Structure 1
């Protein structure tokens, strides 16, 4: 029996809301991660903040530090890319840049770093994002700082056993109920089984594992997955899929199933996106992070849109618990290059040139960043600081667990 309380479908909503509020109260950085909706609401309330014109492209929409990380491809490659697309839209790339800067600034604040370091981080973001847009020589690509390098090195060494130990707490292909996994209602389990029986989903699983069409797949186990922060109120499941091809022991794969909803990020070209929220998420992933997008698909659980992705052992997010000054600036610059590279892949040469000019435009402040980015960051950081304190006061959750 688990030492943690588990909840069935009836008790989930209230329990998940309490957990979401607690996570947002634990740190200013956690509040930023869990408050995407408010970020765009406040942005809309800043009439003086005018983004420079540029061609809309697919953007992450929620480009904070922990939504970037190591991702593995089926060819064995591991790369740091954007790894979360719940809010992806065809929109303004400046929104990703501002959201990234706010996330970095809140991480610096949580690490008790001085404001000068935040300014240096923003300068590194502008410099390396613009470098990615320039499409320069390969030797100009910034070297991965120690934090990123350690994440990549750890990712290379991981296997299914590591994934099972981290995610499932044991190596057997079953899911124990406890803190992270809760039981399913019969109709939820039946709907997951039915979804993986669909030809398109079955073909995806077999394609990813290079199995022929005669192989069989089965849902070995599934559970409700208590994961994330801002998305805790959405359906989230983990499913272990067994792949049988008659050659001996079955192969197992772990799939993340997550409900999709309308994005809160402003879309500049709604006509350029799928109407179905899950299909929109998959399209954004395939555009910005093909290494992840190739193992994703859209489906439905109990007639609600979900996107499905296989989790690989090498998938690791960037953990930022404590920043020191020099590493903080290096990480900021490197992650900005990653985002800039993803954006640049979707732009023509002339668009890259004009957008780079706007990003590199020197503002009226001492910091080497355009006014729209620096002034937007300062205004947004102030609103989030006040919002965070109000959140902690209202919910009285800072020290309660």
Structure 2
């Protein structure tokens, strides 16, 4: 597989072409990368599904619930918990869609780890077991699944991280600027003006100063702003990194990095009854319900007259990568992540709703699999569709780099 070539600083006029090529190559790296970057194909398949998928209670769902969109997220008091960490596609919709998306992501990770098919089947069973425990059999309190060894390692790494680690990864140093290069490109004068306006709002002041260790009367200053080349499915959208200086009388000077990301229309089918028309506000409200640690650290704004959501990046915010899984860890991780997603859904339901949804999930279990037949059929069909789509994607895009 060809490596993605280093991208030097790119002027605004050439962003779209360079980012599109970069996205295509990134999705060609592996079948798992293709699944992560292709939310649209997932919902196109759902729209044409020939068997019945249950309609659960309408709740905020992630909408793009794959493994890498779950991980440690810091709260404003300094605590850390594993929650859903990417809400770009979040909508008021059917929780069954999150279950299917996560199951396919786990199955793809299992394939990438050369695990036998029987382990994939058991992973789907464990995912459902963890999810159903989160519903608590209709009781008020959900049952929390213990973190497996691999998740404990992720949490341990998150808790050790400080600003210097974030600075080293994101801005190649701790100096007060963001160097242009592979990851950061220049912004236009108009973009800089819009970003400076966001940085000067009371909302930004609250966002940055809400952390307990910062002085309430600290002074804020926008030091630098760059276009941020990051992600896969988000490549091509507006994305910026802001370096802010925080100067307090008691704490002195420190820096923080703020993420500004365009909110676009979600691909997931949804209910329009109570969902905000503004996509940035949609993402913020979804975060409040699905990932409180993140939702309380988020605000909205506009850049180039497009909606954006804004959050301070914390060193403890990490994604989960499942590059290699052994058989036991695969099943433990599936059970745990199913429980994380289940708790995010269950927290929006009352006792009667949880009980009814649990009853729907426990129906139609085949004799040979302790998971709903609709879920297993979905996983099999989507694995076949994505495998074919991935190979065709590689033929179209990665093959050009080899020739």
Task: Quickly name the TM-score band, shorter chain normalised.
Answer: over 0.9
Distance in 1, Cα, partners of 2:79 & 2:220: 26
Does 1:216 find its partner at 2:219? yes
Deviations 1:179-209, CA, capped at 9 Å, x for gaps: 2111112221121111111233333323346
Secondary structure of 2:65's counterpart equals coil
* Aligned residue in 1 for 2:34: 31
The root-mean-square deviation of aligned C-alpha atoms, in Å, is 2.0
Contact 1:365 1:371 in 2 (8 A): no
Q: TM-score w.r.t. structure 2 length?
A: 0.94
How far 1:54 moved relative to its partner?
2.6
Does 1:7 find its partner at 2:10? yes
* Aligned residue in 2 for 1:91: 93
Query: CA, structure 1 residues 139+365, in 2 after alignment: closer, same or farther (shift >3 Å)?
Result: closer
* Aligned residue in 2 for 1:386: 388
* Aligned residue in 2 for 1:277: 279
Distance in 2, Cα, partners of 1:223 & 1:171: 16
* Aligned residue in 1 for 2:3: none
Distance in 2, Cα, partners of 1:248 & 1:59: 39
How far 1:4 moved relative to its partner?
4.6
Distance in 1, Cα, partners of 2:287 & 2:140: 26
* Aligned residue in 1 for 2:312: 310
Deviations 1:324-383, CA, capped at 9 Å, x for gaps: 111111111111100001111001111111111222224236221111111111111111
Which residue among 300, 303, 314 is the counterpart of 1:301? 303
How far 1:233 moved relative to its partner?
1.2
- Number of aligned positions between the proteins: 397
Contact 1:50 1:372 in 2 (8 A): yes
Distance in 2, Cα, partners of 1:384 & 1:139: 34
Aligned counterparts, 1:63-74, within 5 A: 63-74=65-76
Which residue among 179, 184, 202 is the counterpart of 1:181? 184
Contact 1:43 1:380 in 2 (8 A): no
How far 1:112 moved relative to its partner?
1.3
Which residue among 306, 327, 344 is the counterpart of 2:346? 344
Q: Bigger shift: 85-94 or 378-387? A: 378-387
* Aligned residue in 2 for 1:195: 198
Query: CA, structure 1 residues 166+400, in 2 after alignment: closer, same or farther (shift >3 Å)?
Result: farther
Which residue among 251, 257, 260 is the counterpart of 2:260? 257
Structure 1 residues without counterparts, runs of 5 or longer: none
How far 1:210 moved relative to its partner?
6.4
How far 1:162 moved relative to its partner?
1.0
Distance in 2, Cα, partners of 1:400 & 1:210: 52
Q: TM-score w.r.t. structure 1 length?
A: 0.94
* Aligned residue in 2 for 1:103: 105
Q: Bigger shift: 356-365 or 177-186? A: 356-365
Distance in 1, Cα, partners of 2:7 & 2:389: 31
Distance in 2, Cα, partners of 1:192 & 1:137: 44
Contact 1:362 1:368 in 2 (8 A): no
Does 1:355 find its partner at 2:357? yes
Query: CA, structure 1 residues 40+77, in 2 after alignment: closer, same or farther (shift >3 Å)?
Result: same
Secondary structure of 1:340's counterpart equals helix
Query: CA, structure 1 residues 366+252, in 2 after alignment: closer, same or farther (shift >3 Å)?
Result: same
Aligned counterparts, 1:67-82, within 5 A: 67-82=69-84
How far 1:396 moved relative to its partner?
3.1
Secondary structure of 2:283's counterpart equals helix
Distance in 1, Cα, partners of 2:174 & 2:167: 5
How far 1:72 moved relative to its partner?
1.1
Query: CA, structure 1 residues 114+248, in 2 after alignment: closer, same or farther (shift >3 Å)?
Result: closer
Distance in 2, Cα, partners of 1:205 & 1:381: 42
Does 1:145 find its partner at 2:148? yes
Structure 2 residues without counterparts, runs of 5 or longer: 1-5
Deviations 1:265-321, CA, capped at 9 Å, x for gaps: 110x21211100000000000111111100001111121110001111111111111
Distance in 2, Cα, partners of 1:209 & 1:185: 35
Aligned counterparts, 1:114-193, within 5 A: 114-134=116-136, 141-193=144-196
Contact 2:36 2:233 in 1 (8 A): yes
How far 1:104 moved relative to its partner?
0.4
Secondary structure of 2:389's counterpart equals helix
Query: CA, structure 1 residues 57+73, in 2 after alignment: closer, same or farther (shift >3 Å)?
Result: same
Contact 2:228 2:241 in 1 (8 A): yes
Secondary structure of 2:352's counterpart equals helix
Query: CA, structure 1 residues 264+121, in 2 after alignment: closer, same or farther (shift >3 Å)?
Result: same
* Aligned residue in 1 for 2:55: 53
